[in-house]
Structures are given as structure tokens and as C-alpha cells.
């Protein structure tokens, strides 16, 4: 089986930072104690470069940047361990998307 070129570090980090838009994935990270690891927290801080306009324009799921902000807060890192918190965030996403879709249809 032939494989193509390996993804660049930038591509891997783009995929990872966007995965933070998924509250259930962030819940998984919390449940598996990644959010307690100082090395992982430093990595999240490093990912702040995605806010720079030249990088941010490549982000498809901008909620990931909001999640990156929330993950800086120790209280949020504790709360996201609870599945009901992750589900609440997901429900908020759905409500926002549904509202945006209904608004677009009215225009």
C-alpha cells in the first residue's frame, strides 16, 4: 500500500486545535486526565498562535478558539469532566446552529 506524504506539523496542529470544538472530545481529554498534565497545558498555551490572522483563516470550526480560552480556566477544566457539562455545551452549539439556519432561511 502506497501512502502519500506525511502531514506537516502545522496540519497536525490544525486538526488538533479544531478537535477542541467538540465538547465530547474535550470531555474525553478531561476524563483521561490530560487537562491535569502541566505539559499538556503548556501545549494548549502554545496553540494560541492559531489566533493570529494568518493561521485563524484556516480554521473551519471557530468554536475551537473559544474552547481554547475556556481551557485556561481551572474551574472549567474540572467541570468539563462531567458529561452533563459537555452535553450542555453541545446543546448550546446545536441551538446556535439551528437559530442561524432559521435566520438564513428567513432572509
- Model pLDDT, residue 11: 97
Record the cell numbers describing residue 38, joined without a space.
502541566
* Residue pLDDT, tens place only, 18-55: 999 999 999 999 999 999 999 999 999 999 999 999 99
Q: What is the CATH number assigned to the segment(s) 9-106?
A: 1.10.10.1340
CA torsion through residues 70, 75, 78, 82, sign:
negative
Record the cell numbers describing residue 52, joined without a space.
493570529
> 10 Å Cβ neighbour count for 11?
11
* Residue pLDDT, tens place only, 77-97: 999 999 999 999 999 988 887
Domain locations along the chain: 9-106
Amino acid at each position: 500500500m502506497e501512502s502519500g506524504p506525511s502531514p506537516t506539523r502545522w496540519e497536525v496542529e490544525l486538526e488538533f486545535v479544531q478537535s477542541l470544538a467538540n465538547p465530547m472530545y474535550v470531555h474525553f481529554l478531561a476524563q483521561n486526565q490530560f487537562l491535569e498534565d502541566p505539559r499538556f497545558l503548556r501545549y494548549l498555551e502554545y496553540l494560541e498562535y492559531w489566533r493570529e490572522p494568518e493561521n485563524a483563516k484556516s480554521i473551519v470550526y471557530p468554536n475551537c478558539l473559544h474552547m481554547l480560552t475556556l481551557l485556561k480556566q481551572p474551574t472549567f477544566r474540572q467541570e468539563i469532566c462531567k458529561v452533563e457539562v459537555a452535553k450542555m455545551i453541545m446543546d448550546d452549539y446545536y441551538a446556535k446552529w439551528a437559530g442561524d439556519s432559521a435566520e438564513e432561511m428567513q432572509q
